[in-house]
Chain A
Amino acid sequence: MDKPQIITHLEKGMNHTLYDCKWIPRSARFVTLGSHPRGTGAINVFEINQRELQLVKECETPTSFKCGTFAASSLQARNLATGDFKGKLSVWDLENMKSTFDVDAHSEIINAIDGVGGLGIGEGAPELVTGSRDGAVKVWDVRQKDAPVACMVPEEGEGKRDCWSVAFGDAYNSEERCVCAGYDNGDVKMFDLRTMSLKWETNVKNGVCCVEFDRKDIPKNKLVVSSLEGKFKVFDVRTQHPKSGFASLSENAHKSTVWLARHLPQNRDLFMTTGGSGSLSLWKYEYPPKRVKEEDGVSKGVIGSLQYLQNSTISTQPVCGLDWSPDKLGLCVTVAFDQALRVLIVTKLNRV
């Protein structure tokens, strides 16, 4: 029985909708973001005690929150960056629940946010990236208040697509950095921030609910793209072939929308996907014997395989938020549309 087990350790029902949850780094606390029934936003901070969850702080804001991240904040400050329903990007000091940075980043809801350069993850400047329904993907530096440092918007006249997900990657030195964005029509685009160019794009047929690199702070290695209709793809983004791009594999899971894919911070080859039916699946990527093959003098990536490690159905509603603890192996927090948050423990991850 060396198989990992997904154990729901703590559960708590809330009186409002929860959209996202994040561990506060270097602590046993996490923060949830959501929306009160009357359309106001909610930030709650919880702390784990032995057998219960304790609400530490709570705050109601004018607009509902959709997403948040700590990834662009220093370990000392641990400020939470949030994106809300009206397109505002804010950075919060959770100690006194005041925002330190506010910008109207987008004209519509910010669907996704990601950060890099903070928490000791990724070289270079701390930056945030936001993706919104207005079709734009914008990169922000909190030291520059009024304007994004990079902006990827659709061309005039071209129909704009709803951007559902964004992710940073490839930040292994201070110059390199790339952003990957997924859209509602199944487009996945990878932008190189150093050269400000579109590096790669593909279409996965169904709306892209989540994109995530296995690690942000290494030369880009793997990318997981999850989509509607119960499918997700894993791309080996190490080797790009001039014609066929990145090698990939496709996997069916959850029999419903795959809402999220989240890599274990302690092991880049393990990740959890969450489904629209309240299920969680744990996967392990296994590398092929040789990751690169030569084809007509051009190297081409070779994809490995996925191992289905474990699953657990924790809810009847979609699980829309999941975050692994960066400090404790196997500890994660999830939120679902059943207005409940759960602290899970996945055992035996170090033995996989």
Chain B
Amino acid sequence: MATTAREEMRRFWERNERSGRPLSPHVSIYKWSLPMAMSISHRGTGVALSLGVSVFSVAALLLPEQFPHYLAQVRALSLGPALVCSAKFLLALPLCYHTWNGVRHLV
């Protein structure tokens, strides 16, 4: 009987890995294009946002105090408008990029 596709893939990878061939340069030599950069940024922002949400949720589960308490602590630090604004920008940027690029994928 002929082999299944999965079996053939497995054999290919086994032989390939056993031969210990070096990987030819790809990311380091290929000329970057806008679609490539946008695609990896979409993935990067997505992963970063996901991990951010997860960190927030786990913190919500573990930290003793409520959100307003910690917000008041941050406010008490009196960081100055420039720093607060930059922090908001750094939070909003990945979200907006991922959202708008996501719309581009959906359309």
A binds B: no
Chain B residues close to A by CB (< 8 Å):
none
